[in-house]
Amino acid sequence: MQQRASAGVNDFAIKLANVNGTGSASANGLLMQSMFRMGVPVSGKNLFPSNIQGLPTWYEIRVNKSGHTSRAVDYDLMVAMNAQTYDRDIREVRAGGYVLYDSSWPLAPELRRDDVEFIGVPLAHLCNEHFLDARERILMKNIAYTGALVALLNIEEPVVEQLLSETFAGKEKLRASNQKALHLGYEHAMAHYRCPLPFHLERMQGNEGKILIDGNTATALGCLYAGATVAAWYPITPATSVMDNFKTFCDKYRRDPETGKNNYLILQAEDELAAIGMVIGANWNGARAFTSTAGPGLSLMNELLGLAYYAEIPAVVVDVQRVGPSTGMPTRTQQADILESAYASHGDTKHILLFPGHPGECFDFAVRAFDLADRFQTPVILLSDLDLGMNDWVVPRLTWDDAYRPDRGRVLSADELEQISAFYRYTGEDEHHVAARSLPGVHPRGAYLTRGSGHNRFGGYTETPDEYREVMDRLARKHRAAARAVPPPVIERQEGAQMALVTVGSCDPAVREAVDLLAQRGIRANYMRLRGFPFDQGVTDFLYEHDLSFVVEQNRDAQLRALLVLETCVPKDRLRSVREYGGFPLSATQVVDEIASQLER
């Protein structure tokens, strides 16, 4: 296995093992934000179970001064707070690493390793002595180990204290309890161990102009900026926080300041089938509407996505992918909805897809999704995933052009309708093969019947083969035309490259780092990250430049590779698969090991 370089200043990985429902998320977030505010490039991955309480949960933090933020798979420090997973957790620590554990109880001799240093902090005893409430004792254990880590990792105390003040503003009792627990852990570590550890933090300027944000929040903000006023949904992990955040933003920015009335509508439907129906109806009526879901919900939406495609009605779907099939593993990440999204519904359908690679693109692509849906009068699916949607990423500060105006596509005004003798919904296509539409209530001449059944170019019912093919062929041409409108791929070339690495979405940090690691082995590779479907000619041209391209993705069946084979003319023997689909975020180590293995065969 490809190993990370030795840990050092601003270059290490830690893992925090805990029990779900014990309040560890607050402590882990405090650590992550403290490191970020010290200007050090950092990433956090929350590996949590799908139950509410009781099962193991882990949080991984990687610090890398060079800006590599993909997941680590070996750890310099393990915070072992769950006796049920001690054995597994301690085995994951690299030789020469450290284990911080609660020494209120003895550690079984068989768990100890000669090549690892154990740091015992009596967290339970400390909290039992200084706090009276039973629940508070459990919660404050996490803050106490945070205090120990502040000492061990040289995290600046004023930064942590400022975060506590911000988090518990107006809640002085809670702030004081957290501050007390923090000092208990800090003082014990300082008194009993050499602080800081050989690997630790030192302030740098690696995060200037950057923010810490998750993809679901950024997506919701993008929907707001795009002008969305209607949303319908059914709660589902890991997409729920998209709509939660959208509602929060709407409460603040979509409420009439004079009347106090809402200028938006959010509907929790009885299921995903109803949700997409509401979204299609609202878009047909002229609103900008969307839904957020995950794979199981997208499966239920298939039939009505086919209706919107065939009847040519805009719709935006945010799919935060998770592990399938069926219920799968709701709190694990995957990219296994690619083919379903591209061809959603029965019959011949093709949809526009957007693949953001970080939260900044979640924001930008959410806006683009609405413009593309309106311009091409068709569903647009934004494919995020759990890693991107629910984990905090360090990205450049979001920017916005105040000159932006929504692209509503070809919508006939009352004056335009007045000047024509008759309106036929599916005639008069433009250079993008899009026909003009009308909105209800604008002008009587714009009234028409939307057909999901067989129809001709005039909008009338038909079962005549030639008339049916005429409409379907135009829809195919329209989809191909969208290739010039979706975001182009990100392409980076190296001198002397022998092959290419191709990927999508949240795989980006791992594959970028893999390119660097392969170069250290003398294997040079060009890089392409796809950002939209249909693919433009540049994608085909890039693939043809290389006799061998490795397609890196997170699903079992190589769905991205399959889509490239289906939708480009590149021979499939030029495309090899690198697949990781166990549900955890991708690491550069996994990519390098698989490519090296294939090259040696």
The number of distinct structural domains making up the chain is 4
Q: Give the end of a domain, one of 396, 428, 458.
A: 396
Residue 4: per-residue pLDDT: 57
Number of H helices, E strands in the chain: 19, 20
Domain co-membership, 475 together with 497: no
Asked if 179 and 147 count as a contact pair (C-beta separation under 8 A), the reply is no
Query: Which is it for strands 525-530 and 499-504: parallel, antiparallel or unpaired?
Result: parallel
Residue in 213, 205, 586, 585 with CA at minimum distance from that of residue 396: 213
Residue 244: per-residue pLDDT: 98
Domain that holds residue 464: 414-484
pLDDT in tens, 57-90: 999 999 999 999 999 999 999 999 999 999 999 9
**Cα Rg of the chain, angstroms:** 27
pLDDT in tens, 287-315: 999 999 999 999 999 999 999 999 999 99
pLDDT beyond 80 at 5: no
pLDDT beyond 60 at 391: yes
CB atoms within 10 A of CB 254: 17
pLDDT beyond 60 at 488: yes
Asked if 481 and 432 count as a contact pair (C-beta separation under 8 A), the reply is yes
Q: What is the mean pLDDT of residues 381-390?
A: 98
Residue 6: per-residue pLDDT: 66
In a domain, 249, yes or no: yes
Q: What is the mean pLDDT of residues 27-41?
A: 97
Residue in 351, 390, 402 with CA at minimum distance from that of residue 373: 351
In a domain, 1, yes or no: no
Give per-residue burial for 423-450: e unless 16+ CB within 10 Å, then b: bebbeeeeebbbbbbbbeebbebbebeb
Q: Give the whole-angstrom CA distance, residue 24 versus residue 57.
A: 9
Average pLDDT over the chain reads: 96
pLDDT-derived band at 474, boundaries 50, 70, 90:
very high
Residue 464: per-residue pLDDT: 97
Domain co-membership, 356 together with 449: no
Query: Which is it for strands 289-293 and 315-321: parallel, antiparallel or unpaired?
Result: parallel
Q: Give the whole-angstrom CA distance, residue 1 versus residue 96.
A: 17
Tokens of 16: 């925090």
pLDDT beyond 60 at 2: no
Domain co-membership, 55 together with 154: yes
User: Which run of H or of E encompasses 347?
Assistant: none
CATH of the domain at 504: 3.40.50.920
Residue 601: per-residue pLDDT: 83
Q: What is the mean pLDDT of residues 222-233?
A: 98
Domain co-membership, 388 together with 283: yes
Domain co-membership, 237 together with 383: yes
In a domain, 207, yes or no: no
Q: Give the end of a domain, one of 454, 484, 514.
A: 484
In a domain, 5, yes or no: no
Q: Give the end of a domain, one of 439, 463, 484.
A: 484
The burial of 259, by beta-carbon neighbours within 10 Å (0-12 exposed, 13-18 middle, 19 or more buried), is given as exposed
Q: What is the mean pLDDT of residues 357-371?
A: 98
Phi, psi of 392, rounded to the nearest 5 degrees:
-80, 130
Contacts of 201 by beta carbon, 8 Å cutoff, 6+ apart:
9, 10, 35, 38, 40, 63, 153, 154, 155
- Percentage, residues of the chain above pLDDT 90: 94
Phi, psi of 42, rounded to the nearest 5 degrees:
-150, 150
In a domain, 390, yes or no: yes
3-state secondary structure of 8: strand
Tokens of 19: 């029990």
Show the DSSP H helices in 289-358 as ranges.
Answer: 295-311, 338-342
pLDDT in tens, 550-567: 999 999 999 999 999 999
Q: Give the whole-angstrom CA distance, residue 478 versus residue 314.
A: 14
Domain co-membership, 479 together with 495: no
In a domain, 201, yes or no: no
User: Which of 49-58, 358-367, 372-381 is the least confident region?
Assistant: 49-58
Domain co-membership, 327 together with 345: yes
pLDDT-derived band at 3, boundaries 50, 70, 90:
low
Residue 20: per-residue pLDDT: 87
Cα 411–chain centre separation: 33
Domain co-membership, 50 together with 92: yes
pLDDT-derived band at 21, boundaries 50, 70, 90:
confident
Domain co-membership, 478 together with 494: no
pLDDT beyond 70 at 422: yes
Domain co-membership, 166 together with 260: no
Domain co-membership, 239 together with 378: yes
- The CA dihedral of 335, 336, 340, 341, to the nearest 10 degrees, is -10
In a domain, 50, yes or no: yes
Domain co-membership, 166 together with 292: no
Interaxial angle between packed helices 172-192 and 123-130, expressed in degrees from 0 to 180 and rounded to the nearest 10: 140
Q: Give the whole-angstrom CA distance, residue 81 versus residue 94.
A: 18
Which comes out higher in pLDDT, residue 469 or 134?
Answer: 469
pTM of the entire structure? 0.96
Residue 23: per-residue pLDDT: 84
CATH of the domain at 312: 3.40.50.970
Contacts of 515 by beta carbon, 8 Å cutoff, 6+ apart:
492, 494, 501, 525, 527
pLDDT beyond 80 at 415: yes
In a domain, 511, yes or no: yes
pLDDT-derived band at 578, boundaries 50, 70, 90:
very high
User: Which run of H or of E encompasses 147?
Assistant: helix 134-152
Contacts of 85 by beta carbon, 8 Å cutoff, 6+ apart:
17, 56
Asked if 219 and 242 count as a contact pair (C-beta separation under 8 A), the reply is yes
- What amino acid occupies position 542? F
pLDDT beyond 80 at 450: no
